[in-house]
C-alpha cells in the first residue's frame, strides 16, 4: 500500500522538485573543465585538428596549485577537496582517456561554499608545483605527486603539463610538450636542485561575474598549440636546454585565450 502511494505521488514530486530528485546538484566548488575541440574516436581516444592535420591525444594532463579567490580586491587562499587526484594544495587534471572515467580527472573540486563564491570577483590557479613539492618522487608520495608519468628527474622535477600527440594517419609521427622548470642547478641529475632560474609556472586568473551558480570551464588544445612547431619526432621539454624551441607553447599558455568560462568572460593569464 505504501509503495503504491509513493509511486502515485512520484510524478507530482518530480514536478515540484525537478530533476534534483534523480540527479544530485554538484557542489558549488566543483568546476568541470572540457576541451571543446577534442573529438572522441571509436577506440576510446581523442582526436584534435591542428594546422589541418588530425592528431590522436595519447596524453594530456597538468598540475594545478595555489587555488585562490579574490574578495574585495584581496586574494584569499582556498583548498582543494582531497581525493586520489587532489591534496589540499595540489590537483592533477587528466583528460586523455575517452572511456575510462577512473583514468581521468576533469573536475576541479574546491573546498568553497556558495556564500564564499558569491563574494568572489575572480578565481586563480597556478599550472605548476611549488619548488618544495616539485623535486621529489617516492612510493610514499601522497596523491597527486605519486604519478610517475609526470615525473622527469630529481633535478628537473615534475612536468607541470604533459601533452603527447600522434598523427592520426601516420602512427610513427609523434610530438610531445612538457612544461617544467628550466635551468635547475644541481651537482648532478640525481640530486634535487638548489634553485631553478626559469620556474615556468603559469597563473590562470579567471574573473567571476554572474557565473557562480554553475561554474564550468571550456578549454581548447588548438589554442594552446597555436602555430607551435610540431615537426614529427620533436620533443619540447622546457626542463632541457633544447626546450627553447617550444617556448611558443609557453607564450600561448600565457597570452592566448585557451581557457574560459562557458559563459564567456575575459580571461587573464600570467607567468611567473
Residue 120: HSE in the Cβ half-sphere, 13 Å Cα cutoff: 27
Q: Which of 2-11, 12-21, 56-65 has the highest mean pLDDT?
A: 56-65
Residue 233 CA: distances (Å) to CA of 8, 159, 170, 175, 177: 64, 19, 12, 6, 11
- Given a cut of 80, whether residue 111 has pLDDT beyond it is yes
- Across the range 147-156, mean pLDDT stands at 93
Q: Give the residue from 55, 67, 74 showing the smallest Cα distance to 168.
A: 55
The residue with cell 573529438 is: 39
Confidence (pTM): 0.87
- Given a cut of 50, whether residue 13 has pLDDT beyond it is no
Predicted local confidence at residue 5, as pLDDT: 47
Give residue 239's pLDDT band: very low, low, confident or very high (50, 70, 90).
very high
- Given a cut of 50, whether residue 155 has pLDDT beyond it is yes
Q: Tell me: cis bond preceding 139? Omega within 30 of 0 counts.
A: no
| Mean pLDDT taken over the chain | 86
- Given a cut of 80, whether residue 154 has pLDDT beyond it is yes
Predicted local confidence at residue 265, as pLDDT: 47
- Given a cut of 70, whether residue 14 has pLDDT beyond it is no
CB contact set of 218 (below 8 Å; sequence gap of 6+): 33, 34, 35, 36, 259, 260, 261, 262
Q: Read off the pLDDT of residues 68-108 as tens digits, 9 standing for 90 and up.
A: 999 999 999 999 999 999 999 999 999 999 998 888 999 99
Amino acid at each position: 500500500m505504501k509503495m503504491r502511494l509513493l509511486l502515485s505521488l512520484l510524478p507530482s514530486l518530480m514536478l515540484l522538485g525537478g530533476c534534483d530528485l534523480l540527479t544530485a546538484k554538484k557542489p558549488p566548488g566543483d568546476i568541470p573543465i572540457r576541451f571543446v575541440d577534442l573529438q572522441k574516436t571509436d577506440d576510446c581516444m581523442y582526436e584534435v585538428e591542428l594546422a589541418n592535420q588530425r592528431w590522436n591525444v595519447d596524453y594530456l594532463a597538468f598540475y594545478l596549485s595555489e587555488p585562490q579567490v579574490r574578495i574585495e580586491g584581496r586574494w584569499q587562499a582556498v583548498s582543494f577537496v582531497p581525493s586520489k587526484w587532489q591534496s589540499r594544495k595540489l590537483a592533477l587534471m587528466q583528460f586523455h582517456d575517452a572511456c575510462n572515467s577512473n583514468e581521468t580527472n576533469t573536475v576541479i573540486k574546491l573546498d568553497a561554499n556558495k556564500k564564499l563564491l558569491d563574494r568572489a570577483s575572480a578565481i586563480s590557479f597556478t599550472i605548476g608545483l611549488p619548488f618544495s613539492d616539485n623535486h621529489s618522487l617516492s612510493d610514499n608520495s601522497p596523491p597527486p605527486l605519486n604519478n610517475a608519468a609526470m615525473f622527469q628527474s630529481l633535478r628537473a622535477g615534475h612536468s607541470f603539463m604533459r601533452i603527447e600527440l600522434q598523427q592520426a594517419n601516420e602512427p610513427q609521427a609523434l610530438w610531445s610538450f612538457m612544461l617544467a622548470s628550466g635551468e635547475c642547478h644541481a651537482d648532478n641529475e640525481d640530486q634535487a636542485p638548489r634553485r631553478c632560474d626559469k620556474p615556468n609556472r603559469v597563473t590562470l586568473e579567471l574573473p567571476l561575474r554572474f557565473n557562480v551558480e554553475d561554474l564550468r570551464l571550456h578549454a581548447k588544445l588548438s589554442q594552446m598549440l597555436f602555430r607551435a612547431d610540431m615537426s614529427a619526432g620533436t620533443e619540447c621539454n622546457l626542463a632541457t636546454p633544447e626546450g627553447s624551441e617550444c617556448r611558443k607553447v609557453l607564450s600561448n599558455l600565457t597570452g592566448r585565450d585557451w581557457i574560459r568560462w562557458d559563459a564567456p568572460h575575459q580571461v587573464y593569464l600570467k607567468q611567473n
